[in-house]
Amino acid sequence: MQPPRVLNIEDLRCAARRRLPRIVFDYIDGGAEDEWTLRANRRAFEEVTFRPRCAVKVPACDLRATVLGATLPMPFILAPVGSSRLIYPRGEEAVARAAGAAGVPYTLSTLSGCPLEDVAAAATNGPLWYQLYLVGGRDCALPALERARAAGFTALVVTIDTAVAGMRERDFRNGVRELLSGKPWRVWPFAGQLLARPRWLARFIADGGLMKFPNVVIPGAGPMSFADVTGALEQSVVTWEDIAWIRKAWPGPIVIKGVHTVEDARRAADAGADALVVSNHGGRQLDGAPPTLRVLPEVVADVGDRVEVLLDGGIRRGGDIIKALCLGARAVMVGRAYAYGLGAAGSAGVTRAIEILRTDLIRTLKLLGCPSIAELDPSYVDVPPAWRLGNG
């Protein structure tokens, strides 16, 4: 499939809405409860304004950033998006293929529909990170970590903000529980939204239908089924004690994702994390959590000399990435931006999302009068007075 003619990530979002059933599109697009945090993530970027240096000639821009000792061609990483195979056939492989071609790291979710070895084969040149949930317990997680290491995954991302699944009301209204039940009579009231997207439905069926999770292999039972995941997550909350075990089980860099406060940032640094991600799960977990961009400066000020600080949540343009970097982030993670591309046009859509962000970065740097990512600092932005007072 050819990528749609689009100018920005919002265009990709609209294309994905046209091509995906409502239940799948809202899985990508929605947040928890009233979706306040989902909207606040975006509003925070709108509240930060630029301070450009004009009459400055910038013939070329250096977009490179160094994260975990590796030089990235652009200052962003593709975040973990679980169940991407629902969005597009062999979805995780499609994302890895696009990320690899661009040299951008891709973080594979534990809850992937594709075996991690197949994703690694699709990634070619791109770095791969592996995101860990302890679904199934340590006996289930340890073999997956060993497989990831053997397949060439270089960093481990441990998500800590999923004590329970967030109340994503769009999913309930769209019939997620009924779809996962596997009982046709329960699915029937929601079948219209699937039948309204016959091309997606045909591909979904051809790709094997409702998936299992081949990287969550329960000893004696095999891959975990989709219907069992919610309960398994609640029974396997990651604690700081688990981080110590993970540190022993994984010899490479560890990134702790889901930090909302300075206190947890300190604990992540004390636990030996190499990096942390200021993240509220894209507004999909605790509604009412603060926007990540607002939390970022205080985290950087407190632990930025001990651990690399990344950010995710609400990023839709290259200008958003630059604002985060000006406020101290080493790099950012983007999730919805590429997931919309995957829904719109598969691997080609992900490629287009990456291209859009790259073009945005170059244009914004030139308009700021800044020749490189490395030279960005707080002097290039203005933040609201309340942020300066440390009230956020």
* For residues 281-294, average pLDDT: 97
pLDDT value at residue 388: 57
Compute and round to an integer the Cα radius of gyration of the chain. 20
How large a percentage of the chain has pLDDT more than 90? 84
Q: Please name the residue that has the structure tokens 């079948």.
A: 191
Average pLDDT over residues 91-111: 97
Q: What is the pLDDT of residue 230?
A: 76
When the pLDDT of each residue in the chain is averaged and rounded to a whole number, the result is: 93
The whole-number pLDDT of residue 232 equals 78
The structure tokens listed for 92 are: 């995780």
Catalytic site residue from 281, 294, 317, 352:
281
Helical H runs in 103-211?
A: 116-123, 138-151, 169-174, 176-181, 184-187, 191-195, 198-206
Q: What is the pLDDT of residues 367-390, one digit of tens each?
A: 999 999 999 999 999 999 888 544
3-state secondary structure of 3: coil
**pLDDT score of 277:** 98
Q: Is residue 143 within 8 Å of 121, Cβ to Cβ? A: no
Tens of pLDDT, residue by residue over 162-189, are 988 899 999 999 988 777 766 767 778 8
Per-residue pLDDT, 364:
98
**pTM > 0.75:** yes
pLDDT at 219 over 90: no
Compute the average pLDDT of residues 134-161: 95
Strands, E, within the chain: which ranges? 49-50, 65-67, 70-72, 76-78, 106-108, 128-132, 155-159, 212-218, 222-225, 254-259, 275-278, 308-312, 331-334, 381-382
Closest CA to 213 of 96, 110, 88, 80: 110
Q: What is the mean pLDDT of residues 133-148?
A: 93
The 10 Å Cβ neighbour count of residue 274 is 18
Domains of the chain: 9-377 (3.20.20.70)
- Range with lowest mean pLDDT among 233-237, 313-317, 327-331: 233-237
Residue 58 has pLDDT above 80, yes or no: yes
Q: What is the pLDDT of residue 391?
A: 43
Distance separating alpha carbons of residues 206 and 208, to the nearest angstrom:
5
Which value, to the nearest 10 degrees, does the dihedral of the CA atoms of residues 242, 161, 167, 165 take? -20
Compute the distance between CA of residue 281 and CA of residue 313 in angstroms, rounded to an integer: 7
Q: What is the pLDDT of residues 333-366, one digit of tens each?
A: 999 999 999 999 999 999 999 999 999 999 999 9
Q: Look up 260 and say whether it is catalytic.
A: no
Q: What is the mean pLDDT of residues 64-93?
A: 97
